[in-house]
Structure 1
Amino acid sequence: MAFKNESDAKAYWKENLSLMLKLLVVWFIVSYGFGILLVDVLNQITFFGLKLGFWFAQQGSILTFILLIFIYMRGMAKLDNKYEVHED
């Protein structure tokens, strides 16, 4: 990766870390919050015949993680293009 200048490199990594932090917070909320802390509240609701808390603990957090990977991939592609450090 070759940046035009040092300030672009710092801005790039600042935006990169910001994106990662936001996605990790979402993942934590879904996997730990919905799957463990709020399981009793969410079990009052059914989703495809399963209790919602159980669904988040078993499948929802995994599907959310996969979705977050694709969101990260798109976000990094935009960021790479913005700072002109993308690979052709």
Structure 2
Amino acid sequence: MSKFGELISAQVPVLIDFYTEWNEPSLSMHPVIRDVAAALGDKAKVIKIDVDKNQELADALRIKGLPTLMIYKGGQMIWRQSGELDANSIIAIVQGQL
């Protein structure tokens, strides 16, 4: 969990995609998240976290639906949504936090 604290304490927005390898909506978000990361470059961090490998963190954050996307800035969660979104919507949300 302390590593998670380090990840989210960045001064740039940190977009986190919580997913699993067996969840179809999670899998369909992989190319979307890749596009978002490419579009944002170094203006934001984009991180993928497999909930099966990080169950304690997923429980602590009450991750129920997949995929779940979160944006943190300066250690604080500023946005959260479960379900699929298109790349342009995610990019616009992150850019609103720059």
> TM-score normalised by the shorter chain: which range applies?
under 0.3
Structure with the greater alpha carbon radius of gyration? 1
- Of structures 1 and 2, the one with the larger relative CO (CA 8 A, separation 6+) is 2
Please give the TM-score of this superposition, normalised by the length of structure 1: 0.27
Give me the TM-score of the superposition, normalised by structure 2: 0.25
- The structure where helix makes up a greater share of residues is 1
Higher strand share: 2
